[in-house]
A and B are shown apart, each in its own frame.
Chain A
């Protein structure tokens, strides 16, 4: 376990809201190039933990290291500069801007034009804008958006908006992508496409992905490693197979005394996966 392979490491992260401890002493580390999931029942503190990583919240205690450097407590714009990008649980696009503009906003940190370049319309400005626009179009194509560059982001259907959000995040050239329930509200076919896209982002662009997900089918099939949170604490971590059969996970999801449940259902699914892997 050398430093370099662990792209993100959190130790003893605590986030409180008044008397409520939303994230309690979470230790966590993930390797580069993995697809890692955090699951847990509603209110388990997954999104809070996410927001702590991406800088929207400052943790009260603990350290978060990204590529070996501490990032806890940095404001979100500084975190983006370090090449971490995110999407939101309830899509937060800039609805009054076009799809292309949304993606260009995502590229904000990667543009170097100054106010003077802007006012004087220097060659540097024009070249950079042209480059950024071209890149944005490539990203739109990459996530599977076609002919919608000039549409208002709010006019796109749900699945399209999710894709714009991912393209916008990719525009900031991340090495770590945080996806907060990216398939929520999607039908099975759309989830399937989304998972395909996530795998491509990891395989082709070499981006490490950390996602929060509710859909067990998605989680079990896409993740290489899973952390389970409940009541603000990490209660388990392991491969999908280990998680599916972990008694404390089953208890967290179904309550004390439950047997079988997701364990039974998902174990069958995981078995199927294992067979696929083997073949």
Chain B
């Protein structure tokens, strides 16, 4: 019989994991990808090769220090170099980092605890407007007409308060998460989805309308300019000293800001990943999963379900809060436009696509969706635009590319593409790209005190009485 695709992949994976192969493969692909991106900065395949090679450091079997070394090499050295040469990549990876943190936060609520949340962007908005307000001139413009600022208005805080505000963003967003959580605890399932959806819209409408009577948010026009943390020329000079030969030209302070924000985003993501992993594998994480599986049974086991749900909301919100502060500073401009319902759905898409409840899966989801959004679809648009300008035509049906409608631009039907991807995923791989598995533990074998003949009836797969297992909880009258 011909080997199935799964078997072929298994053989391939076994080969990749043999001996020193993982190290050679990972290192080789990273360097190959790096060189290709370095030489042709606009090539998407080259960039995908680089990202793919880097992800092998996670997926192949190798020693922990080697993994870390690869991660540090990619994150601290290679990406900044590529980014300094072509800012666009830095933007892509910055967004991947931001959305990874958001998706991980949402995953705690939706994935671990099973509480559907359609208004997650509200917490991101809380973080963004926190720094947006205090990090701009807005506190001095409370009595001005929205959109006007008297010349010479000072900034409210010094730029370096930004770093403190990342932590404040965590705290404030967590508190807002608790406030939302309180009424939400009374409802479940669909109702919860509706309430969170409404919450997201309420926050956005508040931001839109809180320019009167006191101009807190500057309304739909948004707040601008928002300060970035200060950057001393020495740091830029130091970077140039080391990396200028590789980048090919000196990096300006403005360009270096992108690298700085990228590094902060990576630091926050690492922090978020560690916390998420640790929470998942603890009494708290088990309780979250238990609540998701069967809330009533969980509370009968002594789990204070309401307290833990509130905790999930707060932790999930806090990640978004921190990233919101970073977002406001990196863009220097924020408006309610960025925090729409669709933005929340976008993060939810990452979670579902990557693998609901699975930490690596959610990150993969963020990577895939962001690259699709920023790179693949845009470059198809670009390619179509080029075709449109050329004289090329399809011979038999005599179709001239220049007659191609603008409506066919992929960036115009981004949502359609996502819709199709999600539908296909739900049909063929409902648990996501990298589904969540349960942690396997090393178990010592404590010898059973009960006779062997009893054991045989409860070994997995023994069909003795499995037919009688009660199906589902629908008919359950506790």
Which residues of A pack against B, CB within 8 Å?
47, 51, 54-56, 75-77, 80-81, 86, 88-98, 100-101, 104-106, 108-109, 111, 113, 115, 118-119, 121, 125, 129, 133-134, 137-138, 140-152, 155-161, 163, 168, 172, 185-187, 189-190, 193, 197
Contacts and interface: CB of A to CB of B under 8 A. Distances in A.
Given A56-B478, A104-B286, A160-B460, A93 B297 contact: yes
Contact of B460 (A76, A140, A156): A156
Contacts of A75: 299, 304
Interface residues of B, number: 57
A151 B300 contact: no
Interface in B411-463: 438-441, 443-450, 454-455, 457-463
Contact of B441 (A51, A109, A113, A133): A133
B337 interface: no
A142 B444 CA distance: 14
B278 interface: yes
Interface string B269-298: 000000100110011101101101110111
Contacts of B284: 115, 118
Contacts of A115: 279, 284, 311
B300 A145 contact: no
A76 B457 contact: no
Interface stretch (B210-218, B244-252, B343-351, B469-477): B469-477
A54 B300 contact: yes
A161 B284 CA distance: 24
A90 B294 CA distance: 12
Contact of B478 (A77, A89, A186, A193): A89
Contact of A138 (B278, B446, B461): B446
25 contacts: A92-B294, A94-B298, A95-B293, A97-B293, A98-B439, A105-B286, A105-B287, A106-B301, A113-B282, A118-B283, A118-B284, A141-B448, A144-B450, A146-B445, A147-B445, A147-B459, A148-B458, A148-B459, A158-B465, A158-B466, A158-B469, A163-B458, A185-B468, A186-B465, A197-B450
Given A54-B300, A105-B290, A187-B464, 11 more contacts: A55-B300, A90-B476, A91-B469, A92-B300, A96-B289, A98-B441, A108-B303, A109-B302, A129-B282, A172-B302, A189-B457
B459 A97 contact: no
Nearest to B467: A158
Q: Which 10 A-B pairs have the closest CB atoms?
A: A80-B302, A144-B450, A109-B302, A160-B458, A157-B466, A94-B293, A92-B297, A185-B468, A141-B446, A118-B282
Contacts of A163: 458
Given A108-B287, A151-B460, A190 B300 contact: no
Nearest to A95: B293
A142 B448 CA distance: 6
Contacts of B462: 157
Contacts of A94: 289-290, 293-294, 297-298
Contact of B297 (A47, A88, A125, A190): A88
Nearest to B452: A146
B473 A90 contact: yes
B294 A141 contact: no
Nearest to B466: A157
Contacts of B311: 115
A90 B304 CA distance: 22
A83 to B, nearest CB: 10
A114 to B, nearest CB: 9
